[in-house]
Structure 1
């Protein structure tokens, strides 16, 4: 065994089991934003709902937890093992570890040590005579009854806690966690990993309900899920006083998330009816929209109206922003042409001239705005209007079997720093792309003719028709086979 030369506290970061592919990207964005020094004890793994890190102070952990929506809670780790018996051995030996540092055992091929001993000072600091405490039991992929949980808790009777047990608002909350893998159909008899330590902080999971679309005044057909909107704001590293733009704002879900973290928010969209809340209501049973329904109304609902700058009706392909205007972040979900059309101002007829008598009340016609052109314009806009070192976060739709990272939108001024997949169906997905501005003064890049996003709408509906046809054919074959068996059975009975 070897002793750590410098004492950093060790923490278990326990995540919620959803949006798995986004965990590391959100965590790294928050760590970078807050400039927190972190050492990974074990390499993060998407198959595990946790990671073990070391940080210099408890305050660092609390800062991360104050931002992350995918983080469930943070535990100051006292012991970990791959068997329950070994966990108790490690915890008892930790009570004898007077080195003032972690003592690490030999690591296996995955870089995991099963015999790490925390310094006894960590435990003793939480054990004053007058401090109340409780122990919570949490399992992943397995359920325990209350009686079984109490039985687990009683096995820790050797810990030097002399204060009273207090189940509500104790001074110290201890946590015992068991990990049984991620497959609910193949749960082992014994856990793969077990942990014990002191609870430090919870993540921001409560924000999911606070910002839920079910409770929001104004929503549309494509309003972004509250949790995903907060993840986007975190990956854009939105902070107090930033100016944030959503150029395809829709009903403003992304502005709500950005304003929550203290940003001043702008939005633009070509859809006049949506920006003025005059579209058909989305909620079932609602006939007309109320006067309170608007993007400003949403801001007022969440107490962030003072951070709402405005939204403007604008064609992004012909935007009218000043060339020297800079934003701290751009977060957006461009239309894909599936539930909302991809449109820009234009006419399909060549050499068309509008007569003067129709000029005053003319409403410009629209033409298709190809996805390839949308993303080309978006990256060129970000390269010009982002502050140096700041971020563009956007969704990118694709056919899963055609995905190639080399076909993702790119620009010399922008570096792709995160790329996470959200599966939409068996055949389609979208990826959350995070770009960081690294260069300035590079001319606009043309549309990439090889971009995988071309013809996404056509492919999406073609795949849907193919899938429905396959289901009908399969159903017809099953019915035919059933009738054939029935007929054969009838003939047998007659003979």
Structure 2
């Protein structure tokens, strides 16, 4: 059976991957019959209405799903399609309550015209009561108009559909988790919509353990917890986890009554993780720091020295003075405790390390969903990192002014399918000294993304 998905006309490159991810998550066969980034209407084939409900109920980038009753380029062809496809259905709904609505994209009709168009379907012979709320049968006429210049006359729609409403999507979660309503955020918190989409692409679900190695204020773990997963995270800066004034990452889980899905957070960086090596994570979601505001750092010294334990007055220097560890954990007063040394770190090496970490930690077919910045110019964009143990599932792009960021989703390939020779030949990144030497995106950002002829493009996008 064919179904019509009413998509949201935003983040267009994310919509199809989300549908495909949800189909995999709920184990339903999905065939995409028609999809285009410029259209909010997607036609798919599914085995049953139950499969349609399972697919769409947690979708973020759609409004709902409809059983497709007909389509055409004008109302004459639409009526022919409806009669051909659904005449056998009409007796089942003859006495049920029903409702007709009209949904126009890039065009609209007057109330009188809408009424006339709806009445043109009277041949279906529905005699039940008309209910605007709670009707058993809800039919919607969808009109899609061609894009036109501002002020131009509205022409007739170029495509028409009639659909029977099956169920709404899970898009209401975007409002629920809006950053304006959230207890604890920072200037770098990912907006709720894209955090939820990231969790969908990573296949977050009940019974799964999801991990964010750059947890910040906890937006991704919170999104994963919304979908029933157990969420954990870490960050090199413990202050972002602990927060201040009694508000921290845990506050958001308390606010949304998801504390049972919060597995805790800890302080660490990816290159010095205390996590036990093994294939036990069901998913990794992250937005790594881009190193634009300041160069990227990891634990360690530039010269490689000073790794031995340091004692001051016979006490370990990394412990707080007065042996009151809680004074550091609760108040983060740097003068009370040891500040671990950090060394410059390559952004490209960080991406490489994330892939390596995912290959070591993810179970078979588990996913890594990772954000990555790039320039909009094809000649200077950053290459998508690869790993022999990981297969690229999708690449979604959110464009700004002169730069973009991509959501890269990978699948952990079973060991039996991995090219062992490619794993052995995997290249390692060398260390550098200066932040710009290590981070080509940072360098290009502050150079204004120079194009090949030497001109400089202005960059009005916000700092990542």
The question of a shared fold, defined as TM-score above 0.5 by the shorter chain, is answered with yes
* Alignment match of 1:14 (pick from 6, 22, 30): 6
Q: Which residue of 2 aligns with 1:25?
A: 17
Work out whether 1:456 is the aligned partner of 2:410. Answer: no
TM-score after normalising by structure 2: 0.84
Q: Could you tell me how far 1:36 is from its partner in structure 2?
A: 0.6
Instruction: State yes or no: 1:120 paired with 2:87.
Output: yes
Rg comparison, structure with higher value? 1
Q: Which moved more, 1:363-372 or 1:56-65?
A: 363-372
Q: Which residue of 1 aligns with 2:106?
A: 141
Give 2:327's aligned residue.
none
How many residue pairs match? The answer is 420
Distance 1:238 1:179 in 2: 34
1:171 alignment partner, one of 136, 140, 143: 136
CA contact (8 A) 1:335 1:341 kept: no
CA contact (8 A) 2:382 2:441 kept: no
Taking structure 1 as the reference length, what is the TM-score of the superposition?
0.79
Q: What is the CA-CA distance between 1:339 and the residue it aligns to?
A: 4.7
CA distance in 2, matches of 1:46, 1:404: 25
Counting only pairs closer than 5 Å after superposition, residues 393-472 of structure 1 correspond to structure 2 as: 393-402=369-378, 407-425=383-401, 427-440=402-415, 442=423, 445-447=426-428, 454-463=439-448, 466-467=456-457
Unaligned regions of 5+ residues in structure 1, if any? 1-8, 95-116, 279-289, 471-495
Does the CA-based 8 Å contact 1:217-1:298 persist in structure 2?
yes
Instruction: Note closer, same or farther for the CA distance 1:312–1:355 as it changes in structure 2 (3 Å cut).
Output: closer
Residues 184, 155 of structure 1: CA spacing in aligned structure 2 closer, same or farther, 3 A cutoff?
farther
CA deviations 1:233-289 (Å, max 9, x no partner) are 1111111110000000000000011001111111000012111113xxxxxxxxxxx
Aligned to 1:294: 248
2:239 aligned with 1:273: yes
Matches within 5 A, 1:339-354: 339=293, 342-349=296-303, 351-352=305-306
How far residue 405 of structure 1 moved from its aligned partner, in angstroms, is: 9.1
Residue of structure 2 in register with 1:109 after alignment: none
**296-305 vs 358-367, greater mean Cα deviation:** 358-367
Please list every run of at least 4 consecutive aligned residues from structure 1 whose deviation after the TM superposition is greater than 6 angstroms: 403-406
Given candidates 238, 244, 250, the residue that maps to 2:216 is 250
SS at match of 2:125: coil
The 1:350–1:170 alpha-carbon spacing in structure 2 relative to 1, beyond 3 Å, is closer
1:373 aligns with 2:364: no
In structure 1, the partner of 2:263 is 309
Written as runs of structure 1 = structure 2, the 5 A alignment for 1:183-222 is: 185=150, 189-222=155-188
1:387 to partner: Cα distance: 0.3
Q: 1:341 to 1:225 in 2, by over 3 A?
A: farther
Q: Distance in 2 between matches of 1:268 and 1:135?
A: 51
| Residue of structure 1 aligned with 2:361, choices 354, 368, 385 | 385
Residues 473-492 of structure 1: CA deviation (Å, up to 9, x unaligned):
xxxxxxxxxxxxxxxxxxxx
Local SS of the residue matching 1:383: helix
CA distance in 1, matches of 2:163, 2:305: 74
**Pairing partner for 2:311 from 328, 344, 356:** 356
The answer to whether the Cα contact below 8 Å between 1:380 and 1:445 also exists between their aligned partners in 2 is: no
Q: Give CA-to-partner distance per residue, 1:342-396, whole Å, 9 cap, x none.
A: 2211223564578532724431122222111111110000000000111100011
